[in-house]
Amino acid sequence: MNKNINKAVFLDRDGVINKDFSYVYQKKNFVFNEGIFDLLRILQENKYLLFVITNQSGIARGLFSEKQYNQITEYYLSILGNLGIRISGVFHCSHHPDFSEKPFSNCNCRKPKPGLFLKVQKEYQINMFESIAIGDSIRDLKAAYLSGINNRILVNPIYKESIYITKKFKTIKECKKYFQKLFL
């Protein structure tokens, strides 16, 4: 009996969902990437659960509060929700090795550690082999690799080579086109 019955897409936030202007916590700086709505819709229609896993060391650095982080999360989830896109869970690491107290300075949730991926896997009975990770940085895909995700997509205009990457696109729009064709 296989109890890992769901497949999921693990999305990074800054650089994937929205443009990465660094330490985004205000609505005016939360700009969705072109093509992200269609991409999420396509994945959802193909029975993937959607999760956001995001490093938010701006909290440890004192640049914004946990409350402000939660507010921006609610903001973009409500926009996605109005478009019929359901995110099953959003998980963040608020820590940073140089700015957090022990034991959080060496937490398991900051990517490239796979802590949050494994938490989702367990809580939502995810089949990691069938699942997908989409990130704009190698550490997103290293965390995915360490948690057993087989499809690890880098979306970044700058060329990067890594064993953690299985596919790459310059933009979310290109990534969307790929899945559009794949699921035809």
Query: Closest approach of Cβ 104 to Mg ion, in Å?
Result: 21
* Partner from Zn ion, Mg ion, none binding residue 109, C-beta < 5-8 Å depending on class: Zn ion
Are 55 and 99 a contacting pair, CB within 8 Å? no
Residue the block writes with tokens 């659960």: 49
Does residue 136 have an active-site annotation?
no
How far is residue 90's CA from residue 139's CA, in Å, rounded to a whole number?
A: 18
Give the distance from CA 173 to its chain's centroid.
16
Are 21 and 36 a contacting pair, CB within 8 Å? no
Give the number of residues written for the chain: 184
- The CB density around residue 78, as the number of other CB atoms within 10 Å, is 10
User: Which one of the spans 16-24, 42-50, 104-112, 127-135 is the region binding Zn ion (CB under 5 A)?
Assistant: 104-112
Query: Closest approach of Cβ 138 to Mg ion, in Å?
Result: 10
Query: Closest approach of Cβ 167 to Zn ion, in Å?
Result: 27
The site for Mg ion (CB under 5 A) is made up of 12, 14-15, 136
Does residue 96 interact with Zn ion by CB under 5 A?
no
Cis amide bond preceding 112, omega within 30: yes
Pairing of strands 132-135, 89-93: unpaired
Residue from 7, 13, 92, 110 touching Zn ion (CB under 5 A): that is 110
Does residue 20 have an active-site annotation?
no
Query: Closest approach of Cβ 94 to Zn ion, in Å?
Result: 6
User: Which one of the spans 5-13, 57-65, 91-99, 152-160 is the region binding Zn ion (CB under 5 A)?
Assistant: 91-99
Question: What is the contact surface with Zn ion in residues (CB under 5 A)?
Answer: 93, 95, 107, 109-110
Give the residue numbers marked as catalytic. 12, 14
